A and B are shown apart, each in its own frame.
Chain A
Amino acid sequence: MPLLTITDLQKAYVSPEGSQTHIIDIPHFEMEEGSQIALRGTSGVGKTTFLNLIAGILGADSGRIIIADEEMTALSESGRDRLRAIHIGYIFQTFNLFAGYTALENVMLGMMFGKGIDAGFAQHLLERVGLGDRMGYRPSQLSVGQQQRVAVARAVANRPHLVLADEPTGNLDRHHANEAIALIREICAENNAGLLTVSHDEEILGQFEEATDFAQVNRA
């Protein structure tokens, strides 16, 4: 059984002029359990929109998204919220950590709406990403690379089946970016989570066995 199956997915935005702009038109897309896929695409082609649809943050206009046997596209908004809380971890280009919370609290917040808070696991994850001695630090007290690692730990905190990474290294320098991708891949593998990464950065994409052009997936 595939981890993620997408069929005939469509999404259009209403442009400021009032016309419909089709951003997503994906006849078929599939991910196996535990697999790691990289999608290549320049800015504005709809990568973020695609990930938001999978995460259920955006509702699709039509088509089906099935994650771990549950159909995201058939659910109401709060149903999608629940599915996201249980099945999906999200790593953002800007990390999106909570400024007012410590590293440990940020990771625990990642568990809060899913299967429940497990402080021991949160600590374990921070140790795993090399922040065992920074758990009580707030994002502003951490380097950009460290913030990114907190975001990575948070993304797997709810033991998701699928981790979505949207330009996950966008704010890091080359060296740290490569390290970060390696870490993300390892940690997803360790936690049996599939990984779907989208990026415009060839170097990042080069770290994966293969990278697919988003344009091949998306006809829009």
Chain B
Amino acid sequence: MKKRISLLFIVRRSLRQHALSTLITTLSIALGTGLVMAVIGIKSQSVAAFTGGRIGFDAVLGARGSPLQLVLNTVFHLETSPGNIPWAMYQTMKDDPRVELAVPYALGDNFHGFRIVGTTGTLFTKFEYRDGVRFQAQGGGRFFDPTRQEAVLGNYAARKLGLRLGDNFTPYHGLVFDESMRHDEQYTVVGVLEPTNSPSDRVIWIPIEGIYRMEGHVLRGDGEDYVAQPGQEIPDEHKEVSAVMLKFRNPQIGFIMDATINKQGKVATLAWPIGAVMARLFDKIGWMNQILALVSYLVIVVAGGSILASIYNSINERRREFAILRSLGARRKTVFAVIVLEAASIAALGVIMGFIVYGAIFTAASAIVRAQTGIVLDLLKLHPVFVIAPVCVILLGTIAGVVPAVKAYRTDVATNLTPIS
């Protein structure tokens, strides 16, 4: 035990004596380890967030087209809308006893880049974005009155836009912000939602009627152009929705609807199950992640090589030191152990700093993911890579130490005790 501590003492001192190369090799190990942990950690969490929980709906019904586009557009509020479907389809779904919940979305406007989604009050009263958890208005706020020009803001949107209860704003036409596309209608913020850490945080919710009545909006629910007139009720046949968000009473209904709507039908697309649609996306872009992972593995290998090279190069100048140690009674294998321990220590230090690198990359990446999608990734969420990567890197560092250690092991004592004169 005492001897181990003494060896570590020698190792620590020698690391300090070679501070610069220790620092550089440690940093490169930290970078590699941090990268690997970040790439794998972020991927695993994004996949989980985009394909699994925190969605609350089973399926999305929308215009005929790509289910992926439909899901991205309605669940994640990204991408453009593939088009609209008639109000009647929403009605059918709503009245279908197999459907637990049907929520219509009408898209087409934004406010400074944050999407305005027209919907019904059902979203607030029935929809659970997580099991058992509904949208909640923050102190003093409420949900909108479907007949008035009122808006409920997702938490992130409210914060970024600086909008509070009672503030007014005017929507802009289109999903992308364009100064010149300002509508004339004024909307009043009546509620700000509690954070959900989901894409909904970036959405501005208004009554679906509001979308219909927004100046310049043309409805084509029955194929013909119709413009809503103030004070007049809009006949249902003219109404249209961008999508209907669905929750089924049981999973089998998804199968049946998939068959009737996607396979036999021709007018609409049912994106189901949402998780699988997104999983296909991740499968498609998996190569990107593989490249990132590969690059970070390479960084680790190069870092391991730099441990090897820097220690190897220092052996010559340290031969006398080894010889003195031997003259004091140290065995060859002790000298060997010192060098291997030195390499392992650099790797271990690098791994510790790697967690800082991971934290930095993760924080930056999750800020981007959050700004783009509203999904919040959890820095401290455990993943096996946090154990596997450090163990492998320390192992690699130890192995890298073997080559210079062999060189040190071979140091001849007698010839290195007397300086060459």
Binding site for B on A (CB under 8 A): 48-49, 52, 55, 57-58, 77-78, 81-82, 84-86, 88, 90, 92-94, 96-98, 100-101, 105, 109-110, 112-114, 116-117, 154, 158
Contacts and interface: CB of A to CB of B under 8 A. Distances in A.
Nearest to B419: A94
Contact of B14 (A52, A55, A86, A100): A100
Interface stretch (B36-44, B156-164, B322-330): B322-330
A81 B331 contact: yes
Interface string B184-198: 000000000000000
B418 A94 contact: yes
A84 B327 contact: yes
A81 B326 contact: yes
A149 B55 CA distance: 77
A104 to B, nearest CB: 12
Contacts of A117: 2, 6
17 contacts: A81-B329, A81-B330, A90-B328, A94-B418, A94-B419, A96-B324, A96-B327, A96-B417, A98-B324, A105-B13, A109-B325, A112-B329, A113-B329, A113-B331, A114-B329, A116-B2, A154-B328
Contacts of B330: 81, 85, 112-113
B217 to A, nearest CB: 78
A78 B332 contact: yes
Looking at A52, A88, A97, A112, which has the most chain B CB atoms within 10 Å of its CB?
A112
Interface string B106-117: 000000000000
Contact of B331 (A78, A98, A100, A114): A78
Contacts of B327: 55, 57, 84, 90, 92, 96
B328 to A, nearest CB: 6
A98 B332 CA distance: 18
B414 A110 contact: no
Contacts of A88: 329
Contact of A158 (B6, B321, B329, B413): B329
A117 B323 CA distance: 20
B17 interface: yes
A121 to B, nearest CB: 15
Q: Which 3 pairs between the two chains have the least Cβ-Cβ distance?
A: A85-B329, A113-B329, A81-B331
Contacts of B331: 77-78, 81-82, 113
Nearest to A94: B419
B329 A82 contact: yes
Interface string B5-16: 010001001101
Interface in B225-240: none
